[in-house]
Amino acid sequence: MGRATVLVVDDEGKIRDVVCSYLEHEGYAVLQADSGQRAMESVARARPDLVVLDLMLPDLSGEEVARSLRSVSDVPIIVLSAKAGAEDRVAALRSGADDYVVKPFSPRELVARVEAVLRRTNGGSSTKILAFGGGLLEIDQDQRVVSVDGKPVELTRSEFDLLVALALAPGRVYSRYELITRVQGYDYDGYERTVDAHVKNLRRKLGDDPRDPRFIATVTGVGYRLTAMPDG
């Protein structure tokens, strides 16, 4: 498979340069755009595999760009924005974004998010089985089967989807709201703390001790993250 192409859309040249440098170091081909109109032209012309999109552009808002792109393309979109409010995240996700990164940001984390979104959207056979801790934890996304120490673990649909969400970006901290929307959908009316019940059951089934977690760690006041390191 050829290397993936990422379009970086931001009107700040220094940010584009940093993001592009890190992506290129990881083997990605990189395109740049400094406005919403140029971004849409670039997507139509070059058909990138993923777009990193700022929300505050000089001509169009990032939400407008995301909606326009989504109407003609299923290209994955990661928003990179200084807007940190929950309502901003929700608006961007509902506009068609696949993930959201807040400035100031870690370039390494952004690259990891790019990798995770591409894994999730490309569906390559080599990425359908996620393995962690030297095979200690394995997740078969196609068969929806999870095993710990080689032994299958029976999970509900919500528990499986929650575990996959964490596993696609190991180390990333997910808020309860992000997790419940990924598991139940954006229109789910349940209380965000429902996630706590799912995590409690998931830990019990995985044999995970919350005081000394092998897999899922609690980040106080925020949410949860997968602590296990991916194989390979």
Give the CATH number, domain containing residue 149: 1.10.10.10
Residue 178 structural domain: 128-226
Residue 68 lies in a domain: yes
Per-residue pLDDT, 190: 57
Is 48 within 8 Å of 6 (Cβ atoms)?
yes
Nearest residue to 48 via CA among 143, 128, 122, 111: 122
Count of domains for the chain? 2
Does a structural domain hold residue 231?
no
For the residues 204-216, what does the mean pLDDT come to?
93
- Domain C-terminal end among 76, 92, 122: 122
- Residue 165 confidence (pLDDT): 83
pLDDT tens-digit series, residues 77-125: 999 999 888 888 888 888 889 899 999 888 988 999 898 888 877 654 3
Domain boundary among 122, 143, 171: 122
Residue 129 has which token pair? 């089985």
Determine the Cα–Cα distance for residues 153 and 160; give it in Å rounded to an integer.
Answer: 10
Asked if 160 and 185 sit in the same domain, the reply is: yes
Residue 232 lies in a domain: no
Identify whether residues 100 and 159 lie together within a single domain: no
* Residue environment code for 74-95, b if the CB has 16+ CB neighbours within 10 A, otherwise e: ebbbbbbbebeeeebbebbbeb
- Looking at the fold, whether 186 and 165 belong to one and the same domain comes out as yes
- 63 and 10 co-located in one domain: yes
pLDDT value at position 26? 86
In this predicted structure, what is the pLDDT of residue 140? Answer: 87
162 in any annotated domain? yes
pLDDT band at 126 (very low <50, low <70, confident <90, very high): very low
Interatomic CA distance for residues 105 and 109, integer angstroms: 8
Say if residue 114 is in the same domain as residue 140. no
Integer Cα distance of 147 and 81 in angstroms: 37
Q: Examine residue 45 and state whether it is found in any structural domain, yes or no.
A: yes
For 12-54, list the strands marked E by DSSP.
Answer: 29-33, 50-53
The pLDDT mean for the chain works out to 86
Res. 185 pLDDT band, cuts 50 70 90:
low
* Whether residue 213 has pLDDT greater than 80: yes
Q: What is the mean pLDDT of residues 171-199?
A: 73
Sheet strands side by side (includes 77-81)? 29-33, 5-9, 50-53, 77-81, 99-102
- The pTM for the full model equals 0.55
For residue 127, give the DSSP letter.
G
Average pLDDT over residues 32-57: 92
Measure the CA–CA gap between 172 and 224, rounded to whole angstroms. 8
- Which of 104, 122, 140 is at the close of a domain? 122
Q: How confident is the model at residue 46 (pLDDT cuts 50, 70, 90)?
A: confident
